[in-house]
Amino acid sequence: ILRNPLHDTHEFKLGCSDCVLRTGPRVTDFRHDETLVHSCYKNIVLCRRRGNKDWLKIRPRPQPQSKAQLYDGPYYICKDLMAGQDCTYPAVCTFAYNQEEIDVWTLERKGMLNRAWLCKSMDMNYVKKLSLVGLVICKHRGTFDFLCRACFQNKPRIISMFSSTTNKCNKEENPHKNTEENQQLTHILRESSVRFTEIRLPQQAILCRHAIRFQCTRGDECHFAHSLVERDIWAIMDKEKLVSAEVVRQAHEHVKKQTATSKETENPLLFTEEGDLGTFRWKVKFICSLCHKNGQINEAAKEMKYCTARAQHSWTTNKKVALVYTAKRVWVQIRDLPYLKNKNLPVRFELCENFRRQKRCAFSGKCNFAHSQEEMDIWMYLRDNSLKDLEELYEALTKTKHGKISSKIHSSNTDTSNILLPTDTTLHQSSYHCWLCDKECNGQRQWEQHCASEKHKLRAISDSDGHWKFRKPGGNYKLCDRHEKGNCEFDFLPASDNTCSFAHGRDELEEWIHRRQYVIDRIRKAQDDRLIDSADD
């Protein structure tokens, strides 16, 4: 039995919106550019009968909205196209645009052909190269873990993991049980912000054509992948016959091996010989605070009683200043943890926007945001290990050097099961999550302040997440008459300076209309998820 019954009569190929180019205003005016060298999304199925030259697009088979609309009869070609006209309802037309589409749809409905089979037969080399370790390390980074599905689907979204002791999620009020149905496989990427990507049950490992540039309105009912990481992990799970629990287990084992390897091969501390502190992987040194005020950098003397300056400041009583060696090969000062009135440190620290843009902050001494990636990571380390300030960190590291393992940081055994990367720390409490800004909030008050901020509202009306080819819409969703005649004054300017409010070409006009609809759908989804108040303008 052939996995592809149309193999003898039809040829198939994958493409994307970059290599499948529009040649005219009609819905069938497309051509495939086989010479284009690019990173193809491979989310459009192309088909042609053997012997023909032109590739035709095969749209997803129309799905009924309800059982009452279920259609079991034969498929027909659109009457508008049969009459030589353009389709009147291109977005929702349930009729086929060509005979090849009828052939594929008919076999799909009978269960004799699956688009996932076509993906494997057309792109087997790509699937062969995929591996779970390569997916975690090189391509998408991050890790995989289970979140509470009930909290994840809550409106607004709540991020909470399961506790191994109580077998329930970390939600403070009415926690949910840790059942197989309530385990949401999630890809977690922690950088300057935290991004959570939902991984649904494996289906067809082809990217959804709506999710690439626009928002897919079908949600969980869609049979195609809504992200690159979801497509790749579906392909891996199907190739290696993995279940979700096995994906999480292998991802955690890889993180532990990676941490243990870095512990053995690197010397993370200037004043440690063997690097006993496995989770602390930064190159750091402590200097005298009194010397630092005068612009001097002096460390402790050999007897650890005074600093190396002529004044010989007391090393035991004076506070130390911590310097960390960054990726730019410079030493940067690390401040103490920010003082918060409620004494509850956030789940995730964030970088200071002023320092990121202007390389300086007017509230440097009292700013509650990190001024470097290293400072943010070390703050996370202090919080996770219950260290109040850098003084306690110095004492813990000093005890580690002399073989006195601190109970706060390192257990007495050599088991590596508790070693975690700073970027993969487990959440100890539930938090509200904004998918617009990739931001977590610890409480209701912080969440309300975030949703009321101007930055959050601007993200809701932004279309920067889409994959666009042309310039931003100018405001007039019409074709430029002067451009058609060749006398528009903006045609002689660089593309970055082209501020004509009219579209220069039908393709650009069509993209402008799509971008406007993208923002409308984005706002509606944000309102439905209670990220934006419906009363806001």
Same domain, 85 and 208: no
Instruction: Tell me, yes or no, whether 416 lies in a domain.
Output: no
- Among the listed residues 147, 168, 153, 390, the one whose alpha carbon sits nearest the alpha carbon of residue 285: 390
Q: How many domains does the chain have?
A: 4
Give the pLDDT confidence score for residue 122 in this predicted structure. 54
The SS3 of residue 289 is helix
Give the pLDDT confidence score for residue 464 in this predicted structure. 74
Contact partners, residue 433, CB within 8 Å, separation at least 6? 156, 157, 158, 159, 194, 196, 439, 440, 441
Q: Give how far Cα 93 sits from Cα of 62, 79, 110, 141, Å.
A: 8, 11, 21, 40
% of the chain with per-residue pLDDT over 70: 79
Task: Tell which of 260, 276, 305 closes a domain.
Answer: 260
Confidence label for 80 from pLDDT (cuts 50, 70 and 90): very high
Instruction: Tell me, yes or no, whether 393 lies in a domain.
Output: yes
Same domain, 71 and 147: no
Instruction: Tell me, yes or no, whether 332 lies in a domain.
Output: yes
Give the pLDDT confidence score for residue 221 in this predicted structure. 77
Q: Give how far Cα 497 sits from Cα of 370, 469, 489, Å.
A: 36, 16, 11
Task: Tell which of 260, 281, 297 closes a domain.
Answer: 260
Same domain, 470 and 509: yes
Same domain, 487 and 514: yes
Same domain, 163 and 81: no
Per-residue pLDDT tens over the stretch 347-393: 677 788 777 776 777 776 678 888 888 888 888 888 777 788 888 88
Region 325-340 average pLDDT: 80
**Rounded mean pLDDT of the chain?**
77
Does the pLDDT at position 465 exceed 80?
A: no
Same domain, 96 and 180: no
* Identity of residue 470: F
Cis peptide bond upstream of 346, omega within 30: no
Instruction: Tell me, yes or no, whether 302 lies in a domain.
Output: no
Same domain, 202 and 233: yes
Same domain, 193 and 231: yes
Give the pLDDT confidence score for residue 56 in this predicted structure. 93
Same domain, 146 and 241: yes
Backbone angles phi, psi at 208, to 5 degrees: -70, 130
Whether residue 210 contacts residue 217, with contact meaning beta carbons closer than 8 Å, is answered with: yes
Alpha helices in 26-114 (DSSP H): 79-82, 99-110
Give the pLDDT confidence score for residue 303 in this predicted structure. 77
Instruction: Tell me, yes or no, whether 502 lies in a domain.
Output: yes
Per-residue pLDDT tens over the stretch 255-281: 777 666 544 444 334 433 333 445 677
Give the pLDDT confidence score for residue 96 in this predicted structure. 93
Per-residue pLDDT tens over the stretch 213-242: 556 777 777 878 888 888 888 888 887 888
Per-residue pLDDT tens over the stretch 54-73: 999 998 888 776 655 667 78
Instruction: Tell me, yes or no, whether 148 lies in a domain.
Output: yes
Does the pLDDT at position 475 exceed 60?
A: yes
Region 428-454 average pLDDT: 82
Rounded Cα–Cα distance for residues 477 and 466 (Å): 19
Domain residues for the domain of 525 are 454-529
Give the pLDDT confidence score for residue 258 in this predicted structure. 65
Reported as type and span, the H/E element at residue 334 is: strand 331-334
Task: Tell which of 216, 239, 260 closes a domain.
Answer: 260
Whether the pTM exceeds 0.75: the reply is no
- Among the listed residues 258, 257, 248, the one whose alpha carbon sits nearest the alpha carbon of residue 145: 248
Rounded Cα–Cα distance for residues 109 and 102 (Å): 11
Region 68-95 average pLDDT: 85
Does the pLDDT at position 97 exceed 90?
A: yes
HEC sequence for 121-136 = HHCHHHHHHCCHHHHH
Instruction: Tell me, yes or no, whether 297 lies in a domain.
Output: no
Confidence label for 123 from pLDDT (cuts 50, 70 and 90): low
% of the chain with per-residue pLDDT over 90: 6
| The pair of three-digit structure tokens given for residue 181, joined into one six-digit string | 């149905």
* Identity of residue 507: D
Same domain, 138 and 81: no
Does the pLDDT at position 414 exceed 60?
A: no
Give the pLDDT confidence score for residue 347 in this predicted structure. 65
Same domain, 94 and 139: no
Residue 229 CB neighbour total at 10 angstroms: 22
Same domain, 158 and 143: yes
Range of lowest pLDDT (24-38, 130-144, 197-211, 398-412): 398-412
Instruction: Tell me, yes or no, whether 269 lies in a domain.
Output: no
